[in-house]
Structure 1
Amino acid sequence: MGTQAGTSADTLKFLRELEESPYRHDFFMALRRLESMYPDMPRFGQGARPIDEPIRLGQEPSMAFAPSALASFRAGDKDRPHKLSGFFFGLFGPNGPLPLHLTEYARDR
């Protein structure tokens, strides 16, 4: 994954809070905080290879009203990047461009 995030108390506290209660955080604020942990790496989305990116973004396939922007967060380690899933963007769901039966199919898988 390249350079590891700093291990300051604030960094660890933020990662733990984001993992335990992602609904309390804003999507863009979370990305800014995560990106600031990797000052010597390219900005998110600008890495030459996917392995150079310290985070993976995803979407939670749901038909329900989104109670918050973020669905879940899994902190990464030296072998795997962080994973941040949201409700509000992507292809699935009632606001996505794909037909609803494909959201149901993805959710059931």
Structure 2
Amino acid sequence: MSNDFTQAQAPPWRYGFLNLMRRVDVQLCTVPAGNTWQPRMEKFRLGQTPALTFAPREIASVGWQEGRLHISLYSLVLWGPNGPLPLHYTELARNRTESRR
């Protein structure tokens, strides 16, 4: 099953965010997303990769972390040149993310 979701990595134009979320809903979720009693019971996590460039695609990465599918996005979020926040916030978040590695 993990190969099904990691295929969303490439090519960039083949999978979009909404198509990926439909697949996650069908293959992973027994309870509709957002309807579990606690966040730790959700089968997937959404996050954002802060970048100072324009988003080449919606999905930044897809992978498994702590038994959950982790989907990191470039678009539909707050950071970056496409987002509503000032660019210096994006730069600050990116620097903090990079320094943790």
TM-score calculated relative to the size of structure 1: 0.75
1:1-109 to 2 correspondences below 5 Å: 11-18=1-8, 20-21=9-10, 23=12, 24-39=14-29, 41-76=30-65, 79-109=66-96
Aligned equivalents of 1:66, 1:16: Cα separation in 2: 19
Structure 2 gaps, min length 5: 97-101
Task: Report the CA distance between 1:80 and its aligned residue.
Answer: 2.7
Aligned equivalents of 1:64, 1:30: Cα separation in 2: 23
Contact 1:92–1:100 (CA under 8 A) maintained in structure 2: yes
Larger strand percent: 2
TM-score calculated relative to the size of structure 2: 0.80
Identity rate, percent: 36
Deviant stretches of 4+, over 6 Å: none
AA in 2 matched with 1:80: G
Contact 1:69–1:87 (CA under 8 A) maintained in structure 2: yes
Number of residue pairs matched by the alignment: 95
Contact 2:47–2:73 (CA under 8 A) maintained in structure 1: yes
